[in-house]
């Protein structure tokens, strides 16, 4: 799994990604980054970390910057500042409508590259000769577009953050005025223009969302079916994913995107489960049958109560018979069988009668 770190050549400049190799720099350390003009000193902004995907093509750090490398970078910074001042002064002397936006210095060869912006083509041959004589080195002039000029200089956008082109954008994609119209923005040049004077690059960030929303819902002015009734679309509210509809019966409502989506409504109409239709009652109850059914129910309850009472009585009698069979043998014997004992001294007549029944029981 490869590792990656991020470095910057200026304190608030653009981030460049590199492969740390065998080095482990920490945030704030000075490292040497290979460039077309040789290794240059940069500051580590992100510490090396493992990445899941193999990006490939990243430059490998040449090593950690030593004291001599840092001193050489400081000398190059001073020379760049001196070249910038000289270029601006000479451009004013030659009455050239140019704007110096950046200077690069190559310590190994001692040459300079000066970047400028202008509205049209500029004849700067005399300016180059004067710069070569003043700086005592070879000087190259390169004209930049308005957006490239803003990328080199940097700055703060209308959102309060650093310019996108100076921080993370790598390529400039075309931006048109139609994107501002699709997003319902006021066509005021002061509000939709960036620091470069062109349309802001961020207009393209959300434009695919507006295009996808416009394809999924009815267009402005077309009829729409809402849960509140039929109406006509008057506005799209893409950030809230809602559609504003004026109802035919009067009033205005804001409904969700799914409520007016034609494809969703067609899908629900095609695959909705069928609703059961109400049919005739299979067992209709004639008029006046409520009283009859209630009388029959009460009579059935009384019969059940009588059957339960009879069953309980029979069980009670049976239990007495079972108990008498165990008691009777204690008093059975020839001495107790006689008429004088039937007179009833000592034994209850009821028990005697129960004994006599059990005695003759087959």
Q: Which of 154, 160, 158, 152 is nearest to 199 (CA)?
A: 158
Question: How many domains are contained in the chain?
Answer: 4
Q: Looking at the domain assignment, is residue 17 inside a domain? A: yes
Domain boundary among 271, 292, 312: 271
How confident is the model over 35-82, as pLDDT tens digits? 887 888 999 998 888 887 767 778 899 889 999 999 998 998 999 999
Distance CA 212, CA 258 (A): 13
Distance CA 334, CA 360 (A): 16
Domain boundary among 40, 65, 90: 65
Q: Looking at the domain assignment, is residue 231 inside a domain? A: yes
pLDDT given at position 301: 52
Q: Looking at the domain assignment, is residue 229 inside a domain? A: yes
Distance CA 203, CA 197 (A): 14
Distance CA 87, CA 98 (A): 10
Q: DSSP H helical segments within the chain, as ranges?
A: 67-93, 125-135, 146-153, 164-167, 177-182, 189-192, 207-216, 257-260, 262-271, 289-327, 339-342, 349-359
Chain-centroid distance, C-alpha 67: 48
Per the CB < 8 A criterion, the answer to whether 41 and 32 are in contact is yes
CATH of the domain at 231: 2.30.30.140
Q: Which of 118, 90, 120, 116 is nearest to 103 (CA)?
A: 116
How confident is the model over 127-184, as pLDDT tens digits? 999 999 999 889 999 999 889 889 888 888 888 888 988 888 878 888 999 999 888 8
- Domain limits for position 255: 216-271
């Amino acid at each position: 799994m490869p590792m990656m770190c991020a470095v910057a050549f200026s304190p608030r400049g653009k981030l460049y990604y590199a492969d740390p190799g065998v080095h482990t720099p920490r945030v704030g350390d000075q490292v040497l980054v290979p460039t077309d003009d040789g290794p240059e000193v940069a500051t580590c902004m992100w510490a090396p970390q493992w990445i899941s995907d193999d990006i490939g093509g990243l430059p490998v750090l040449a090593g950690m910057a030593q004291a001599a490398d840092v001193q050489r970078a400081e000398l190059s910074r001073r020379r760049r500042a001196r070249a910038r001042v000289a270029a601006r002064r000479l451009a004013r002397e030659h009455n050239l409508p140019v704007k110096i936006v950046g200077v690069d210095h190559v310590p190994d060869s001692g040459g300079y590259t000066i970047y400028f912006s202008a509205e049209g083509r500029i004849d700067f041959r005399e300016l180059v000769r004067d710069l070569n004589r003043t700086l005592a080195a070879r000087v190259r002039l390169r004209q930049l577009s308005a957006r490239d000029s803003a990328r080199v200089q940097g700055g703060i956008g209308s959102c309060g953050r650093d310019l996108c082109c100076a921080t993370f954008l790598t390529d400039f994609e075309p931006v048109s005025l139609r994107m501002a119209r699709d997003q319902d923005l006021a066509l005021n040049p002061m509000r939709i223009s960036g620091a470069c004077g062109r349309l802001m690059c961020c207009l393209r960030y959300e434009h695919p969302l507006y295009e996808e929303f416009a394809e999924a819902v009815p267009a402005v002015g077309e009829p729409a079916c809402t849960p509140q009734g039929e109406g006509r679309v008057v506005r799209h509210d893409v950030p809230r994913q809602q559609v504003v509809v004026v109802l035919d019966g009067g009033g205005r409502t804001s409904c969700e995107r799914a409520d007016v989506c034609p494809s969703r409504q067609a899908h629900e109409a095609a695959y909705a489960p069928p609703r059961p239709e109400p049919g005739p009652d299979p067992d209709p109850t004639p008029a006046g049958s409520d009283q009859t059914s209630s009388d029959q129910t009460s009579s059935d309850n009384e019969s059940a109560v009588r059957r339960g009472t009879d069953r309980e009585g029979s069980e009670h009698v049976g239990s007495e018979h079972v108990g008498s069979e165990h008691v009777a043998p204690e008093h059975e014997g020839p001495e107790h069988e006689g008429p004088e004992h039937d007179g009833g001294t000592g034994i209850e007549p009821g028990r005697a009668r129960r004994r006599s029944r059990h005695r003759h029981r087959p």
